[in-house]
Structure 1
């Protein structure tokens, strides 16, 4: 029988450029999650500094972000809990190339070791002047104490190909740290439906679970509802969300029954079809292929 995993999603109103406040807030929530028996705690995208790339301090903080990753490793080991510390902006400098900023998610095991990492591939349009994509690097899954995991970041959610590549590599659970706002759509789109972004998340997260027979742990930033969506949740095929939040600060601890992945696969046989030698679909990212 597939195990049930106890996981925590953590969201709060991230304070822009107040990196120590945000880090301490995250650590306090992770401690609460551990006290509630969570095996894994997940934080939002941009959780250390928020998204303010035009402020010079943002770049300076990115250059020092590695020390916070080290602190999360120590905390994970102390509390015996796995941690995905949202995303961390990393500054890479080379004498021969322009400075690059990568938006990176890490999976830290309960012994403090890093089991996997992922650099955001599909960069949201306003991010593109500031961030560098992982480009043609493959999406890969990796083994963890809570199962075989893949990671995506925010706008990656919009690309079914990203999920398919992870599922082909055996991912059972896809973790998605996010900084997705209520007003990310254009004014024209919002004029047709002011809640269009919430609808996007609500429908797409559930659809991805069904069409890939996987679980999803989705964690977003919280804040005033006129600007922030929150909506952090844990979603499984067959049943949909098994726990979800609104726009409030806090954490939610959920029991994730991975046995439902077997139920869904027996029903839909998605992975079985994908593993066939005569599988109809191949990835074609360019018309020249």
Structure 2
């Protein structure tokens, strides 16, 4: 019998350069997810900060490892920008409920503003890895647009693809926005569900969102868990918050058993 997993998708509104505040808020959400007996909590890309202030990345990675072990919950802490000599990398980690790092992924397909600053994983293969939730693969943000990345992970046995993201409505070109101001939201809603149907997999998508109760802006939000047959589960709007969903892995053909 296939297991059922409880997944918390956390849609944060990060404050620019306020690393400690952003981390504290993330920890609060993860503790709330653990109190609801979630198996996995996923944060957005750049939830701590973007390119600056990344020299202390190890401090925050260690903190998330300790938190995972304390709360007995698997955590993907969005992405953490790391500095290695003169190189900056944007990395997602899968931390098990024992606090062990079971997998990591460095963003391959960089968005235009990132290219002058970040180093891509370039031709490194996409690799699936074993977790307490079965075989998992990770992508980051714009990687979503490349179906071959999914195919490589699926070929490696992944049934769950986790995608921390920082994707806004303003990422579209001016010409595209003139046609449809919501075109980026349309892309996300269409592509996320299409990918899970194409690959018979679950897609866990955690995006950044706007301030709770704030003015409508360019935040896309739409964090969700997408599965075949049902589509988007627990889909959020554009505001900060958390969505908790239960997924019976039988919907993926019963191939999602834990290790």
Fold match by TM threshold 0.5: yes
Q: If the length of structure 2 is used for normalisation, what is the TM-score?
A: 0.95
Aligned to 2:98: 111
| 1:151 and 2:143 aligned | no
Report deviation, 1:12: 1.9
C-alpha separation in 1, matches of 2:39 and 2:4: 10
Aligned to 1:5: 5
Larger-Rg structure:
1
C-alpha separation in 2, matches of 1:248 and 1:242: 17
Matches within 5 A, 1:47-196: 47-49=47-49, 51=50, 53=51, 58=52, 61-93=53-85, 99-196=86-183
SS at match of 1:161: helix
Asked which structure has the greater RCO (Cα within 8 Å, sep 6+), the reply is 2
- RMSD between aligned residues: 1.1
Aligned to 1:259: 250
| Higher alpha-carbon deviation: 254-263 or 122-131 | 254-263
Aligned to 1:44: 44
C-alpha separation in 1, matches of 2:216 and 2:65: 33
Report deviation, 1:263: 7.2
Segments of structure 2 that go 5 or more residues without pairing to the other structure are none
Report deviation, 1:110: 0.1
Report deviation, 1:257: 1.6
C-alpha separation in 2, matches of 1:253 and 1:162: 26
Report deviation, 1:11: 1.0
Aligned length: 251
Aligned to 1:280: none
Q: If the length of structure 1 is used for normalisation, what is the TM-score?
A: 0.85
Aligned to 2:207: 220
Note if contact 2:2-2:254 (Cα within 8 Å) is conserved in structure 1: no
Segments of structure 1 that go 5 or more residues without pairing to the other structure are 94-98, 265-289
